Structure 1
Amino acid sequence: MTPAELIDLARKKGAMIATAESCTGGLIAGAITDIPGSSDVFDRGFVTYSNAAKSDMLGVAPSTIETFGAVSEEVARAMANGALKRSAASIAVSVTGIAGPGASEHKPEGRVCFGLAQNGHDTLTQTLEFGAIGRADVRRATVAHALSLIANALS
């Protein structure tokens, strides 16, 4: 789904969107706000690259980050919930991952955890393994998947 199509869908559904981004550094918000008229459906984006920002801006408990790691579904869930709570949005998507280069024994390059929080629904999480396809391509794939998550939830 293109950002323009997502904006049209959100407008029809009366939805307001927020983003909480780590590994994409604001690219999801940028993709949405590149489209004229996006202010009808986009409330705000949180770029929470550091662990401190995740806690300060979104209310992610430091113990959650310490226990599960910043790249985890638990943190993605907390980020999405925090974005929903701290905005005027009715739906929020979050991403946290390892765009690369670099990985650890337990968290490979290309792993991205997603969260999707929506008023009146349970928060969804998922992890995708894009692989070591390069930083730019991991980020590009993450943006595309995040937009499709929002669109599917609104459909």
Structure 2
Amino acid sequence: MSSMASDVLRLLGVRGETLAVAESLTGGLVAAEITAAPGASKVFRGSVTAYATELKREVLGVDATLLAAEGAVNSQVAAQMAAGVRKFLGADWGVATTGVAGPEPQDGQPVGTVFVAVDGPFDADSECPGGGKVAALRLNGDRAEIRMESVRSVLALLLKELAGEQTGNERAQDTEQNGGT
């Protein structure tokens, strides 16, 4: 996974952008993975491990009504966590993890239900301008395996967004240079 974290850091560095992390079920593993890679200090702002539901509301600004109605294991909660940590820590990009690692179900969700989210400076052509991207996962394995796969998944989602934006810009430039074909 460290190569994925290194790729994220490299792309953020090239873009001159920063990253913040909000974690629940991963309990700091995303931040640990990022900071294990050389060069993290150039782009990584910090993280919030909001394991307790009230911290998601109090620190990250997740809507209290949403938390009361749906619980912490929800796609909108993940999106709001990513946006909240991005704002709270003053970063260009925010990522978040929330879910059930086990051994028991939580908020009516079975073990292995995970939501990972990315919030960033998406351009006007993005599917979600000014918003985020969320992936819903149904993971198998024990607690440790679910947590590690959640780390991999959130880094992969961020990497996809970073690489996709860069690829999109390159395509636009190529089209321009090729006379719009």
Alignment TM-score > 0.5, same fold: yes
Q: Who is 1:85 aligned against?
A: 87
Report Cα offsets for 1:42-64 as digits up to 9, x if no partner: 01111000011111110112211
State the 1:104 CA deviation: 5.4
Query: Which runs of 5 or more structure 1 residues have no equivalent in the other structure?
Result: none
Give yes or no for contact 2:70–2:107 (8 Å, CA) kept in 1. Answer: no
| Contact persistence 2:72–2:107 (CA under 8 A) | no
Contact 1:81 1:117 in 2 (8 A): yes
- How large is the RMSD of aligned CA atoms in angstroms? 1.5
CA–CA distance in structure 2, aligned partners of residues 80 and 116 of structure 1? 6
Q: Post-superposition shift, 1:32?
A: 0.3
CA distance in 1, matches of 2:44, 2:159: 13
Higher relative contact order (CA 8 A, sep 6+): 1
After TM superposition, the score normalised by the length of structure 2 is 0.80
Of 139, 149, 163, the residue aligned with 1:130 is 139
Which residue in the other structure is 2:43 paired with?
Answer: 41
Please state how far the C-alpha of 1:106 moved relative to its aligned partner: 3.8
CA distance in 2, matches of 1:9, 1:130: 28
Cα distance, 1:105 vs. partner? 8.7
Structure 1 residue 2 and structure 2 residue 11: aligned?
A: no
| Aligned partner of residue 45 in structure 1, secondary structure | strand
State the percentage of identical aligned residues: 32
The whole-number CA distance in structure 1 between the counterparts of 2:118 and 2:101 is 20
The whole-number CA distance in structure 2 between the counterparts of 1:79 and 1:57 is 9
* Deviates further, 93-102 or 3-12: 3-12
Give the counterpart letter for 1:38 in structure 2: A
Q: Report the CA distance shift for 1:143/1:104 in structure 2 as closer, same or farther (over 3 A).
A: closer
Tell me how far apart the structure 1 counterparts of residues 41 and 90 of structure 2 sit (CA, whole Å): 12
Alpha-carbon distance in 1 for matches of 2:54, 2:106: 21
Per-residue deviation at 1:119?
2.1
Deviation string 1:87-138 (CA, Å, 9 cap, x unpaired) is 221111111000111115941101101121112432111210003x000000
1:151 is aligned to: 159
Aligned to 2:121: 119
Contact 2:71–2:107 (8 Å) recurs in 1: no
TM-score w.r.t. the length of structure 1 is 0.93
Between Structure 1 and Structure 2, how many residues are aligned? Answer: 154
Which stretches in structure 2 are left out of the alignment for 5+ residues? Answer: 123-128, 164-181
Give the SS at the match of 2:59. helix
